């Protein structure tokens, strides 16, 4: 199986093209990358990641970049990895071990939550009341065409 070496910016550009082909709106796109991919992106010595060039470069609540090829870029260590992950060295391991990054649109996913039941009862150890409730939550992919993934290996 032939492998091709591409830059992280090229991968993000391909993900944007896939969303464009699915008629996904350009406003509201996001990209979540793992720390290994973020390190490779920073190693490109890109002006986008340099704090001297305006608003980019500062980490704010996981948001790393506000506009990189049309995406809001977030970093997370909770993304899936196959095998031992993207940092595996050696050409024999490249096809079995890789990291995964995810891109999509705000309208592609949804979450919902509510407090369903509550009850109050007296605390036996103090003069206070205790309130407990049932918190229900869920998530769903509403538009699967609005989400794309990429597998990569840093080796």
* Run means of pLDDT, 10 residues per run, the chain, 155 residues: 71 93 94 88 66 48 77 88 68 70 94 93 92 94 94 78
Distance of CA 110 to the CA centre of its chain: 15
For residue 82, the tally of other CB atoms under 10 A from its CB is 15
Q: Give the residue from 82, 51, 68, 92 showing the smallest Cα distance to 150.
A: 82
| Residue 34 φ then ψ, to 5° | -90, 170
pLDDT value of position 28: 93
pTM: 0.74
pLDDT value of position 6: 79
pLDDT value of position 57: 46
pLDDT value of position 44: 74
pLDDT value of position 37: 87
Q: Give the residue from 38, 22, 21 showing the smallest Cα distance to 87.
A: 38
pLDDT value of position 107: 93
Task: Decide the pairing of beta strands 29-33 and 71-75.
Answer: parallel
pLDDT value of position 105: 96
Q: Give the residue from 131, 126, 128, 100 showing the smallest Cα distance to 115.
A: 131
**Quick one: DSSP state of residue 26?**
S
pLDDT value of position 85: 73
Question: Encoding tokens for residue 42?
Answer: 């920073």
């Amino acid at each position: 199986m032939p492998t091709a070496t591409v830059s992280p910016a090229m991968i993000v550009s391909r993900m944007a093209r896939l969303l464009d082909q699915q008629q996904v709106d350009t406003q509201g796109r996001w990209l979540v990358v793992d720390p290994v991919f973020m390190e490779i992106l920073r190693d490109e010595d890109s002006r986008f990641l340099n704090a001297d060039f305006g608003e980019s470069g500062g980490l704010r609540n996981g948001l790393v970049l506000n506009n990189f090829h049309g995406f809001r870029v977030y970093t997370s260590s909770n993304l899936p990895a196959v095998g031992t992950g993207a940092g595996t060295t050696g050409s024999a391991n490249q096809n079995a071990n890789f990291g995964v990054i995810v891109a999509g649109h705000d309208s592609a996913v949804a979450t919902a939550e509510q407090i369903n039941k509550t009850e109050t009862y007296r605390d036996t150890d103090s003069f206070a009341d205790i309130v407990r409730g049932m918190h229900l939550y869920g998530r769903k992919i509403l538009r699967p065409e609005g989400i794309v993934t990429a597998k990569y290996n840093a080796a």
